[in-house]
Structure 1
Amino acid sequence: MDEMPALRRDLLLPPDAARLEPTARATHRPRVLLLYGSLRERSYSRLLSEEAARLLTMMGAEVRMFDPRDLPLTNSVPPDHPKVRELRELSLWSEAQVWCSPELHGAITGVIKNQIDWIPLEIGAVRPTQGRVLAVMQVSGGSQSFNAVNTLRLLGRWMRMVVIPNQSSVAKAYEQFDAAGRMLPSPYYDRVVDVMEELLRFTWLLRDRADYLVDRYSERKATAEVQLDRL
């Protein structure tokens, strides 16, 4: 059992409880980015995201929402395109994100997927999604479903984000908002409140510890090998 020929023991870091206690807790407001998945004039994913943004702001977060209009298809333009640059800078700025998509043909829309596809796993040495907290929501035109949120969870994990346990799925979304675009009182609204509360709790809990929590043996090994090659 003591023989581990494949392991670089000098790069193995067993769990260190002291590292989970931040030395200087950040005091600024949690920074949350919201992405939504429809370009319709009355977009229910946008309306739901706006309702979530109001709740987050009321609970003390600094909130920004990306407008996906005029964002080109992934890889159709260079990454210095203004909308691409805006999206990536917002992702880097954020400590948490909310992704909201309609369910279309049993899945997420191309609008939300295009936004996610434009955010790479890394930009140089910086990872614009790794360690960030994520909440997922969906709206449906018919009965309640979870296909879109399940796909968003998969994408969030792929992007190395911390996806919170709770989620929101709003059925018959056209019945859940008034003429001014405000969400009506309902169990669906209550669930949105639950999700935003949970998102901020996880954000406060993790943001000062994110660098340690996502510090990976494989990446330390790759860095060490690169440094050795340079000698």
Structure 2
Amino acid sequence: MKNVTAADFQEIDREKLQVPTGPSHPPRILLLYGSLRERSYSRFLVHEAQRLLQAYGTETRIYDPSGLPLPDDSGADHPKVTELRNLCAWSEGQVWCSPERHGAMTGVLKSQIDWIPLSFGAIRPTQGKTLALMQVSGGSQSFNAVNQMRVLGRWMRMVTIPNQSSVPKAYQEFDDDGRMKPSALYDRVVDVMEELVKFTLLVRGRSDYLVDRYSERKADRERQSAAQDAAAGVSL
């Protein structure tokens, strides 16, 4: 332990992990989808997820990406960007659902994620929030999109749940009204949403503590110390 600075090292506080201290309002879940087609299966799947989440007692919002500019092609004050960032700040958990296109997630979904900053002033908009991942495919079952999104979720410092949903040949799985047909694939969607709600309830009220890092505490202390030294030098 000789390399650890005692001022920044903290023992694990088991009380904070075990005592239910979360807020009493319904969990707030934001859902994003990755296609602008009129008959968008990722949008249909997000609406199915929303119905399930509401049945589990959550408050939900679905973001419509139509009109969102490409990253860096507009300022952050664009109304669609502002709407997305406000919803992200409002949420405690998120659902990302993308079609698989050319073996990857779509640009529509990636653009939404790219508009969400890792930090906004002293606030990290995604840090500690829960995340569930789903994808739809036109062909056989694949996990390319969910695997990509899982990497992004980790990069955004989100608590990405273990379960996920991949719906192959999505055109066969939804009826004319856009409702998903009963199947084992639908049952998996229920599993994923149930798990998301459980993890969100488990993490809420504790996320700041769970993602509190020794290295960041150390860096903050060193910055504060440097600022104090600089201020003292000016006063002299």
* Band of TM-score, shorter chain: over 0.9
Per the alignment, in what secondary structure is the counterpart of residue 226 of structure 1?
helix
Q: Deviations over 1:172-220 (max 9, x none)?
A: 0000111111110011100000000000000000111111000011111
* Equivalence map 1:7-46=2 (5 Å): 7-22=4-19, 24-46=21-43
Q: Which has the larger radius of gyration?
A: 2
Q: Contact conserved, 1:134 with 1:161, CA < 8 A, in 2?
A: yes
Alignment-derived partner of residue 143 in structure 2: 146
Partner of 1:3: 2
User: TM-score, with normalisation over the residues of structure 1?
Assistant: 0.96
Further displaced range: 49-58 or 10-19: 10-19
Gaps of 5+ in 2: 229-236
Report if the CA contact (8 A) 2:22-2:201 is conserved.
Answer: no
Match of 1:164 among 161, 165, 175: 161
What is the deviation of 1:24?
A: 3.7
1:73 alignment counterpart: 70
Q: Confirm or deny that 1:210 pairs with 2:201.
A: no
C-alpha separation in 2, matches of 1:22 and 1:130: 21
Q: Deviations over 1:55-91 (max 9, x none)?
A: 0011100000100000000011111111111101111
Of 179, 184, 189, which residue of structure 1 is paired with 2:181? 184
Write the deviation string for residues 112-138 of structure 1: whole angstroms up to 9, x where unpaired. 000000001110000110000000000
Distance 1:105 1:171, change over 3 A: same
Which secondary structure state, in structure 1, belongs to the residue aligned with residue 96 of structure 2? strand
Give the ranges of 4+ consecutive aligned residues of structure 1 lying more than 4 Å apart after TM superposition: none
Question: AA paired with 1:71?
Answer: L
**Equivalents in 2 of 1:68, 1:25: separation in Å?**
31
**Number of residue pairs aligned between Structure 1 and Structure 2:** 228
Q: Following TM superposition, by how much is the alpha carbon of 1:230 offset from its aligned partner in structure 2, in angstroms?
A: 2.1
**1:145-192 CA distance string (max 9 Å, x none):** 000000010000000001101000000000011111111001110000
> What do the CA deviations read for 1:95-123 (whole angstroms, capped 9, x no partner)?
00000000000000000000000001110
In structure 2, C-alpha distance between the alignment counterparts of 1:229 and 1:184, rounded to whole Å: 61
- Aligned partners of 1:22 and 1:36: how far apart in 2? 35
CA distance in structure 1 between the aligned counterparts of 2:76 and 2:19, rounded to whole angstroms: 35
- Structure 1: state its 5+ residue gaps: none
CA distance in 2, matches of 1:220, 1:65: 35
Q: 1:220, 1:148 → 2: CA distance?
A: 34
The whole-number CA distance in structure 1 between the counterparts of 2:227 and 2:10 is: 24
RMSD, aligned α-carbons: 1.0
Cα deviation, residue 3, structure 1:
2.9
